[in-house]
Amino acid sequence: MIRDFSLADLITLSNGFAGTGSILATLQYMDTRDRRILWLAFALPLVAMVLDFLDGRVARWRHRSSPLGRELDSLADLISFGVAPAVLGFSVGLRGAWDALVLVYFVSCGLSRLARYNVTAADLADESGKVRYFEGTPIPTSVILVAVLAILAWLGRIDGELPFGHVRFLGGSFHPLVLMYAISGSAMISKTLRIPKP
């Protein structure tokens, strides 16, 4: 099967590898508390974003866009820009019951957003077949969340030192910082936000 992949598909696979690597590095950090591993986990979604940018450019350059490539792109994006940022948030201290619910909501929004794009892309395309705009924010914008967490780690404001502290609510813990995930997820599934596609 790999032999049948185009160059763009291999770049997309590398995006998924980077996202998976971030998740595994995050889990290793939770086990060892080695900050060097955490920095690797922060860096890999940025690598994935570069690869996500490149795969589309290469597909257009080589005129090799395919339904397989589009599905592969969505699955890789879900790992790198949905699951990986959520796992990073959990690892740096967003571990309350209500935090977990918000993180699951965020990943679900990313999943829904990618599925919606796949089924509506043809309707949103112009005469040349190019999609003119995104409905809702693209899932790679979640690297902003990763950048915020990286800054907090650099400042030593993770785990018990997260900004805004935490509150107890109905038997569970809630960190207000997790609301940035709720906002990001909600923006992804918005039908009123229209972002021009470059």
DSSP 72-118: HHHHHHHIIIIIHHHHHHHHTT--SHHHHHHHHHHHHHHHHHHHHHH
Beta bridge partners of 196: 133
- In the chain, the number of structural domains is 1
Range of the domain at 168: 2-196
d(CA 19, CA 49): 10
Confidence at residue 6, expressed as pLDDT on a 0 to 100 scale: 77
Residue 197 has pLDDT above 80, yes or no: no
pLDDT single digits (tens) 40-72: 999 999 999 999 999 877 766 666 666 677 788
Beta bridge partners of 172: 169
Confidence at residue 69, expressed as pLDDT on a 0 to 100 scale: 73
Lowest mean per-residue pLDDT among 27-31, 68-72, 96-100: 68-72
d(CA 5, CA 26): 29
52, 46 Cβ separation under 8 angstroms? no
The CATH number for 21's domain is 1.20.120.1760
d(CA 84, CA 166): 23
Helix (H), strand (E) at residue 3: none
Q: Is the pTM of this model over 0.75?
A: yes
Helix (H), strand (E) at residue 167: strand 167-169
How far, rounded to the nearest angstrom, does the alpha carbon of residue 105 sit from its chain's CA centroid? 13
Pick from 151, 149, 140: which is nearest to 15 by CA?
Answer: 140
Confidence at residue 106, expressed as pLDDT on a 0 to 100 scale: 98
Confidence at residue 63, expressed as pLDDT on a 0 to 100 scale: 63
